[in-house]
């Protein structure tokens, strides 16, 4: 196992957000040092890392400094330039590689990949069409409407997405987005959404976590419940097999999250993927033998992948900056964490962001319990304390 990178080696992270922060915590607990490259001086990952390289994601000296320091580099968000990952890969192991990230950061490439791999994964994406001109709008088939118009790049947490019912709606939305290339996806009869967290090592071995069921509000993940309470055993197994087929077909190394739609008739549709740990996988820190971040460390360090067994039912709640405000005013006060942490099974994770802003992800709460019903009950109690409509 000559490819194993043992502690106290340095592991690098592109990006300074909360995912990088939680990666640093996991890596340091295993004895590694962590270097983060991020243009913002005060960032969540930089607070936890052993070294912060203050540089832009395309800054050549910064990239070279990261590569010189580290034995392996990963990314904590998908919008890191693929060219930067390619540059790093000339001198250091990079997982995921530029190809995997470039597919995930472009909706057209992502949908094309899903279609091409459907023979092995057994699932297809929603019907869709590239919208890159007025002529493309004129040619939209009736079967694609109503739909959702999405920007091809840089969309997350509901940003860059508009629901459309007619060609006129598409035209107006396309113009409002500055006529950047978009993708129109048919709106399907969605019953609920699930995400499948998987990890693959450089040796081709892969593991897959239990199915997580997600609820969104205003395009932002609100809660994740694991195990998913609605999905059937057959559908769950199909989603897990599909995820492992996709990660293998992509030749991916690292942690990958794939979101699926379960439709009203019980069928499965693949939606999108994130080439990194995912918000819906945060429950693994408190409810699984190996967290998604420890798994990321293992994959990039060439270590055996960890046990994905879930030891406790769990419900995760995203904490947004809104709860620091009372009503619609601008007065800020600290939430009642003492009351929340008095609840059984409460695990609080705050991301070190100094300024709470409405709709900004500030942290998350995970409740673990002997039963899913108990975990949900305690989460509802926390929502009441924090003034969140459950």
Q: Which two tokens stand for residue 359?
A: 């709709």
Residue 129 assigned ligand-binding role = no
Q: What DSSP string runs through 284-309?
A: HHHHBSS-HHHHHHHHHHTPPPPP--
Q: How far apart are CA 240 and CA 165, in angstroms?
A: 33
Residue 158, annotated ligand binder?
yes
Q: Is there a binding annotation on residue 157?
A: yes
Both structure tokens of 273: 């993927």
CA distance 199 to 291: 11
For residue 44, what are the CA distances in angstroms to 15, 281, 338, 352, 363?
A: 10, 18, 23, 5, 11
Phi, psi at residue 334, to the nearest 5°? Answer: -75, 130
Is 160 annotated for ligand binding? yes
161 is in an annotated binding site: yes
169 labelled ligand-binding: no
Gap between the Cα atoms of 361 and 163, Å rounded: 24
Check the annotation: does 185 bind a ligand: yes
17 is annotated as contributing to ligand binding: no
Q: Which two tokens stand for residue 321?
A: 């900056």
The answer to whether the annotation marks 147 as part of a ligand binding site is: no
User: Binding site annotation covers 150?
Assistant: yes
Quote the CA–CA distance of 183 and 358 in Å, as a whole number: 28
Is residue 78 within 8 Å of 15, Cβ to Cβ?
no
Residue 50 among known ligand-binding residues: no
Instruction: Confirm whether residue 159 is marked as ligand binding.
Output: yes
Residue 76 among known ligand-binding residues: no
Q: Is 87 annotated for ligand binding?
A: no
Quote the strand ranges of the chain, DSSP E: 10-14, 33-38, 51-54, 72-75, 93-94, 128-131, 147-151, 161-164, 182-186, 190-200, 206-208, 212-217, 220-226, 254-263, 268-274, 314-320, 346-350, 361-368
Provide the sign of the torsion angle of the four alpha carbons 80, 76, 18, 69, taken in this order: negative
- Residue indicated by tokens 């490819």: 3
110 annotated ligand-binding residue: no
Helix 18-29 crosses helix 292-301 at what angle (to 10 degrees)? 70
Whether the CB-CB separation of 386 and 323 falls below 8 Å is answered with yes
**Is 272 annotated among the ligand-binding residues?**
yes
Is residue 179 part of an annotated ligand binding site? no
At residue 95, what are phi and psi to the nearest 5 degrees?
A: -145, 120
Count of all residues that appear for the chain in the document = 390
Annotated binding site for ATP: 107, 150, 155-161, 185-188, 193, 216, 271-272
Going by the annotation, the residues of the binding site are: 107, 150, 155-161, 185-188, 193, 216, 271-272
């Amino acid at each position: 196992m000559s490819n194993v990178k043992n502690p106290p080696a340095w592991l690098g992270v592109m990006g300074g957000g909360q995912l990088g922060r939680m990666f640093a915590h996991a890596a340091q607990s295993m004895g590694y040092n962590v270097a983060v490259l991020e243009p913002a001086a005060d960032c969540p990952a930089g607070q936890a890392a052993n070294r912060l390289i203050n540089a832009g994601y395309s800054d050549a000296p910064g990239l070279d400094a990261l590569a010189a320091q580290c034995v392996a580099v990963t990314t904590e968000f998908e919008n890191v330039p693929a060219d930067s990952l390619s540059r790093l890969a000339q001198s250091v192991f990079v997982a995921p590689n530029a190809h995997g990230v470039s597919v995930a950061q472009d909706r057209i490439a992502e949908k094309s990949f899903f279609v091409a791999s459907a023979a092995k994964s057994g699932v297809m994406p929603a019907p869709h069409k590239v919208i890159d001109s007025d002529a493309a709008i004129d040619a939209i088939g009736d079967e694609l409407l109503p739909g959702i118009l999405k920007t091809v790049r840089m969309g997350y947490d509901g940003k860059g997405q508009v629901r459309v019912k007619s060609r006129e709606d598409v035209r107006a939305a396309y113009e409002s987005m500055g006529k950047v290339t978009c993708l129109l996806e048919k709106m399907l009869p969605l019953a609920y959404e699930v995400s499948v967290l998987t990890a693959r090592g450089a040796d081709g071995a892969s593991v897959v976590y239990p199915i997580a069921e997600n609820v969104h509000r205003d395009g932002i993940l609100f809660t994740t419940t694991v195990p998913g309470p609605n999905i059937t055993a057959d559908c769950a197994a199909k989603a897990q097999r599909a995820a492992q087929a996709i990660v293998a077909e992509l030749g991916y190394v690292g942690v990958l999250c794939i979101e699926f739609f379960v439709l009203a008739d019980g069928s499965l549709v693949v939606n999108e993927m994130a080439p990194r740990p995912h918000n819906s996988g945060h429950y693994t820190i408190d409810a699984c033998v190996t967290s998604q971040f420890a798994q990321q460390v293992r994959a990039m360090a060439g270590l055996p992948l960890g046990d994905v067994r879930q030891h406790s039912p769990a419900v995760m709640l995203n904490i947004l900056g809104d709860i620091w405000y009372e009503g619609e005013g601008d007065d800020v006060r600290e939430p009642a964490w003492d009351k929340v942490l008095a609840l059984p099974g409460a695990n609080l994770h705050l991301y070190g962001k100094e300024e709470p802003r409405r709709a900004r992800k500030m942290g998350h709460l995970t409740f673990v319990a002997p039963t899913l019903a108990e975990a949900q009950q305690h989460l509802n109690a926390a929502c009441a304390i924090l003034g969140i409509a459950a």
